Amino acid sequence: MRVTGAPSRKTPLAEDLATRVALEEESLRVRYARRRRVDATEHYGPFDAAAVMAVQQRDRILLNRLRRQGMKSLASAQILDVGCGNGVELVRLLPFGARPENLHGIDLLPQRVLAARSLHPAMDIHEASAAALPWPDHHFDIVVQYTMLSSVLDSVVRRRAALEMGRVLRPGGIVLWYDFVLNPLNRDTHALRKRQVYELFPGFQVWLQRTTLAPPIARFVVPRWPAIAHGLQAISPLRSHLVGVLTKPAGRDAPQCAVADASRVAER
């Protein structure tokens, strides 16, 4: 955990950031409470054919990419999932060699934290903010970011969360990325283009690929005509997500964007 010095007066910029983080986190709680009115297992559970197809394709792409980058096992990797939800994505790493005691996660919602802790007693799960991760610098080999950043609508808070991911990642470590590049029907998210990924992680080596048949199409087509769904998935404009591996420069800290600069950059 981080060790802090004597309390100091916050600068106006720090106070503004703290206010923006608090407002965004309250907005997130409201949005997630609204989503809970719809049964999440209906669209994202293990018996939903479209969700299974999306997850299997994502994991296959990521494993192939990690293999090409020389990774052979997750056994020794310290892994953090930022916005881990109910912990399912962390558990999915176990068949790939990850050790449960090396799996860590944070989520903003206490009920999700409890659900994640219940999946495996050895996993280390915290109720915490992505804008202030409770670990020291260079602590993790892998940081997982699956559809968390697109849920943060405030661009300054989103950049702060990305900075925190870079801070806790060791030099040469990687971010596993999976997030919306296209999501026009969901006003609770902000789709992230390739350019924005580069801006969020300056100096990182970025590899990205379009994937995932857009969920509204997939939910209709996959259960009825899976072969047609695979064909539609080959059409790039119908793919709603980016999947990728972002590698932090080795031998030095990742470049850090000033929060002051971030606050002046408008979303494009």
Predicted local confidence at residue 9, as pLDDT: 58
Predicted local confidence at residue 241, as pLDDT: 96
Predicted local confidence at residue 39, as pLDDT: 47
Predicted local confidence at residue 47, as pLDDT: 84
Predicted local confidence at residue 224, as pLDDT: 95
Q: What is the DSSP string of 183-247?
A: -TT-TT-----HHHHHHHSTTSEEEEEEEEE-HHHHHHHTTT-HHHHHHHHTSGGGEEEEEEEEE
Predicted local confidence at residue 4, as pLDDT: 43
Predicted local confidence at residue 252, as pLDDT: 52
Predicted local confidence at residue 17, as pLDDT: 87
Residues 6+ apart with CB under 8 A from 186: 180
C-alpha distances in angstroms, 144 versus 39, 90, 149, 162, 165? 25, 9, 11, 11, 9
pTM equals 0.86
pLDDT by position in tens, the chain (length 268): 444 444 455 677 677 889 999 999 999 888 888 776 554 545 667 789 999 999 999 999 999 999 999 998 999 999 999 999 999 999 999 999 999 999 999 999 999 999 999 999 999 999 999 999 999 999 999 999 999 999 999 999 999 999 999 999 999 999 999 999 988 778 888 999 999 999 999 999 999 999 999 999 999 999 999 999 999 999 999 999 999 999 999 975 444 443 334 433 333 3
Predicted local confidence at residue 36, as pLDDT: 67
Burial class (CB in 10 A: 0-12, 13-18, 19+), 104: buried
Predicted local confidence at residue 45, as pLDDT: 73
